[in-house]
Amino acid sequence: MMKDLKHAGYLPDTSEVLLDTGEEERVNALSRHSERLAIAFALISSGPEVTIRIVKNLRICIDCHHVAKLVSKIYDRKLVIRDQTRFHHFKNGLCSCKDYW
C-alpha cells in the first residue's frame, strides 16, 4: 500500500506527531495509526467493491485523512470513517467533510 501511495504523490505530514524524535521515527509512528492498519487489513481481506467502514473514538489525524483520500482514489474504494465528531465518506479522492473537521 505504501508503494502505491508514494507513487501517487503521498508525502507524510508529521505536524501532528507529538514525539520529540527525528523525522524518520515520526513517519514510522504515523504508519502504526489504527485507521491506517484497518485500511490495509480491509484491502487485503475484502472484495474490490466492498465499502471499508472504520469506527474510531478519537479524531482522525490530518495525515491519515490524506491517506484515506488517496486510498479511495488509487484503489477505487469507498471508505467511511467515523471519528470523534463526524462521519467521513471518502470516494474518488474526496471527503464529504471537504477537509474541514
From CA 44, how far away is CA 88, in angstroms rounded?
21
pLDDT at 79 over 80: yes
Chain center to CA of 12: 11
For residues 47 and 92, give the distance between their C-alpha atoms in angstroms, rounded to a whole number: 17
Residue 101: predicted pLDDT: 66
pLDDT, one tens digit per residue, over 56-67 is: 999 999 999 999
Quick one: pLDDT at residue 64? 95
pTM higher than the cut 0.75: yes
Residue 5 pLDDT greater than 80, yes or no = yes
**Per-residue pLDDT, 77:** 97
What does the domain layout of the chain look like in residue ranges? 2-95
In a 13 Å sphere around the CA of 39, the CA atoms on its Cβ side amount to 27
